[in-house]
Chains A and B, each alone.
Chain A
Amino acid sequence: MRRVGAVASIVAGIDVGSLTTEAALLEVAGNGAPLRLLGQGMVMTGHDARGAAEAALAAALAQAGLGRGDVLRLVATGYGRIAVAGADQRVTEITCHARGARLLLPATRTVIDIGGQDSKVIVLDDGGRVVDFAMNDKCAAGTGRFLEVMAAALGVALDDMGRRDAAAHGAVSISSMCTVFAESEVVSLIAAQEPRDAIIRGLHEAVAERTAALCARAGGAPPVAMTGGVAKNAGVVRALEARLKTRLLIPPDPQMAGAIGAALAAADAAAGPTRPAPGS
């Protein structure tokens, strides 16, 4: 185990999501306060959550030039958190995304995280503590998976969805939010010669509508941060900003927020029993 300086130590967080798995390494002071991000790694989760967690951590360690033995404490989050070998603790992605977003964007009062399987809106108090949250119901409507399926139906790369939205002249209305029904609706729209870019914008509007409703349900108020992979989709962000009537704060690597939040949870425990405020 390596201690950095006299009191600082290294902690790790791993976020095993449905699409991607991220790992973050933080250097933290003796009181648990984060000093700097030493490394981060991201891999596709695929069919092996445990393997993905190990690969993401290995990538983060390689970037930081550290070994597994240097990590004082490891916290796992995300749906695959139970599969992470050697985790000292498991914390939900709600708490972790809140903490990660708060660290990266300290003004944050509401966090919108659209992940592969779940979309959630998390409301924080002045001190950064979670006071309420709302999540999508059981189906995949309005999640990253929804957009993934639609991208496949349209024959468009997922990463290209935002750019195509920007090029669209108007939006085609998508009435179905059920992923299966919406997919057949999209197929019908393609058959009806509707422009692909307009269909894409319509899909983004549909996701934004659903997310804005979730935000209203949770009682989210600005400043609003957005985390998770979908935050990189400029089309969804634009549509959401229009509906929420506020600019969204987006960290440079929005999908890393969960892993960073998990590392912060690891820092608490590494610091001892006194727990600092979330996100501090």
Chain B
Amino acid sequence: MRWPRVDWPWKDGAGRVGAKDRWAGLKTQAQRAFLEHLAPRLVRSGLLYDVGERLARLRAADYPPRATGVMAQAGLSLVRRAYSRRYRRRVVWTNVFAPTEILYAMDLLPFSLEAAAATAASLGLAGYLLDVAERNWYSSDSCSFHRCALGAALAGFLPAPAALLCTSHICDGAPKAFARCAEAAGRPLFVLDTPVVTGGGAAAAAESYLARQIETAANEISRLTGSALRPERLREACRLSNEARRWMLECAALRRDRPAPVTGAQSLGFLFAVFTMQGSQAAVDVYRTLARELAARRRDGRAAVPRETARLLWLHLYPFYPNGVLTFLEQGHGAVVVAEEFTHVYWDDLDPHDPFASLARKCLSHFGYGEASRRARAVAALAQEYDVDGVIHFSHWGCRQSCGGVRLIKDELGRRGVPLLALDGDCVDRRSYAEGQTLTRLAAFLEMLGVPAGHGGGPITARG
């Protein structure tokens, strides 16, 4: 097999290396050499993550904020273990909305396929993996998170799973994509069929229907992996999930301050903790560190950007490959993302004594599930809570569930005088990203909000 074709993120259009000094040049060369030799065997070797984890620990103080370093260590540790022989048959491929609490309770490792795709994109590997999936008849019109993950699974980059666990709520394409990944891995898939509840009377039935499925999946995964599902461990996972939730709420409260204590780029970096660490000590550590750091920043009067010109709410995800979107807004123009849809705490505390039912309630309470107007109302409430000047909806290619309701969100916000920009793009597939067109839309939106003109469009190539 040929090694991946890497789309070098640090090269300019003419193929020149854009390093500014000798050290940066050397670093670039090292990165290039590393990626050129990136083979599935190397990706699966524990050594890589061990080195990464040590580097993250050494450089913990360099991360702004420090919680990023805490998360990097925890994330690398999780991935290292996932690839290690010791955890063989203890990895479960999950989607981002799966209740990972049940897996942590069994000492299993959730391995989020969407997070893996995002990581591949950030490393410049996604192009190759997307090609692998497309060569296997996976349509280029599908969600690139799942397409990229399937490519990684087919190319042998992922740790072998014992099972796959996926919910059907929010991301309704996930069960189909996971079915294909399960075939590639040759392991069973557990789909948690989450019902849509529209009337009050159906809520109890929906909850028990889903709770039973979660319990069955947990028992089956326990049987498959030989990891016992002990009630006290399940209670502990729920307790940790609740503790992480409380710190997340603390961070959310601190982010209502003016000026914003943390940028959206930094906050969105914690999605890995939100999506894969619920029910673990790591999530508690990450959000506790962040909350304390934000409180200290407030005490010291330190702002996320030197001059805050506008406050924005970010909907859906963002591009994970190197791109100028958030830098352009936050560092270039002082327009700070003060809240994000996917870092928002929408669920209630879990009941450690009734774990399956409360995990079912958590899934069912997601504001993005069910009628599109439910999400629109929740977004409008968030816009009000954080007192934002504008809202940006990143409409990810192939994501039907998020793009479908944009009109309703725009109308709901419009009634409150908050403008919305629907920015079309792709979170993983860099080939669909046109920086000039994207930044022009962002710049025009900022001009509309009355943000003082700066660069007026960032590093735009003179094509258009």
Residues of A within 8 A of B (CB): 16-18, 49-50, 76-83, 89-95, 116-118, 129-133, 135, 137-138, 265
Contact = CB atoms under 8 A, between A and B. Distances in A.
Contacts of B443: 92
B424 A79 contact: no
Contact of A49 (B419, B447, B453, B462): B462
Nearest to B440: A92
Interface string B127-149: 00000000000000000000000
A135 B462 CA distance: 19
Contacts of B447: 91-92, 94-95, 130
Closest 5 A/B residue pairs (Cβ): A79-B464, A90-B456, A49-B462, A94-B444, A80-B462
The secondary structure that dominates the B interface is loop
A138 B464 contact: no
B463 A135 contact: no
Given A90-B453, A137-B424, A118 B434 contact: no
Contacts of A76: 456
A159 to B, nearest CB: 22
A107 to B, nearest CB: 21
B459 interface: yes
B457 interface: yes
Interface residues of B, number: 23
A137 to B, nearest CB: 5
13 contacts: A17-B464, A50-B462, A79-B440, A81-B457, A82-B460, A90-B456, A92-B440, A92-B443, A94-B440, A95-B448, A132-B448, A133-B448, A135-B437
Interface string B412-442: 0000000100001000000010101100110
Interface in B149-199: none
A78 B460 CA distance: 10
Given A89-B453, A90-B456, A95 B444 contact: yes
B462 A82 contact: yes
Contact of B464 (A116, A131, A132): A116
Given A79-B440, A79-B463, 8 more contacts: A50-B462, A79-B462, A82-B460, A82-B462, A92-B456, A93-B440, A116-B464, A135-B441
Contacts of B457: 81-82, 90, 92
B455 interface: yes
A151 to B, nearest CB: 20
Interface of B: 419, 424, 432, 434, 436-437, 440-441, 443-444, 447-448, 453, 455-464
Nearest to B424: A137
A131 B453 CA distance: 17
Contacts of B461: 82
A117 B448 CA distance: 21
Contacts of A93: 440, 444
A80 B456 CA distance: 11
B460 A81 contact: yes
Contact of A138 (B424, B459, B462): B424
Nearest to A132: B419
Central interface residue in B436, B437, B455, B464, by most chain A CB within 10 Å? B464
A16 B440 CA distance: 13
B436 A79 contact: yes
A64 B342 CA distance: 56
A28 B455 CA distance: 24
Contacts of A118: 437, 440, 464
A253 B441 CA distance: 25
Contacts of A83: 462
B463 A90 contact: no
A140 to B, nearest CB: 11
Central interface residue in B419, B434, B463, by most chain A CB within 10 Å? B463
B434 A78 contact: no
Contacts of B432: 138
B441 A79 contact: no
Contacts of B434: 138
Contacts of B444: 92-95, 130, 133
